[in-house]
Amino acid sequence: MILIYTVCKNKTEAKKIALMLLKLKLIACANFWPITSVYSWKSKIVTGKEIVLLLKTRKNYYKKIESVIKKVHSYEAPCILKIEVDKAEGEYLQWLFKETKII
């Protein structure tokens, strides 16, 4: 199991990405919440509101998910991070694998 962390420009974009990945059965669950970010972009310091999108999935789905995110994301260089999960509760893990089974 892995977590994929990305940020989106707004809730609409985060929900669009999450729903697309759920329909493709590439993720079992998505969480999103508002944040304030400060970062350097093209030699300028930027502060802005964004939405964190946290996706829960199988390890071997990362490249497919990364590809989908890049196709629909509005950012020129979206943050897409793969976080390895060392341990997960057994029943949750069973549910995740059941929900992400591509037929």
Per-residue pLDDT of 4-24, as tens digits, reads 999 999 999 999 999 999 999
Tokens read off for 16: 């669009």
3-state secondary structure 50-103: EEEEEEEECHHHHHHHHHHHHHHCCCCCCCEEEEECCCCCHHHHHHHHHHCCCC
- pLDDT per residue as tens digits for the range 62-78: 999 999 999 999 999 99
Binning pLDDT at 50, 70 and 90, where does residue 102 land? confident
| Residues β-bridged to residue 52 | 7, 33
Q: Is the pTM of this model over 0.85?
A: yes
What is the per-residue pLDDT for 103?
61
5, exposed or middle or buried, with CB in 10 Å at 0-12, 13-18, 19+? Answer: middle
Average pLDDT, the chain: 96
What is the per-residue pLDDT for 56?
98
Domain residues for the domain of 46 are 2-99
Q: The CATH number of the domain where 88 resides is what?
A: 3.30.70.120
How many domains does the chain divide into? 1
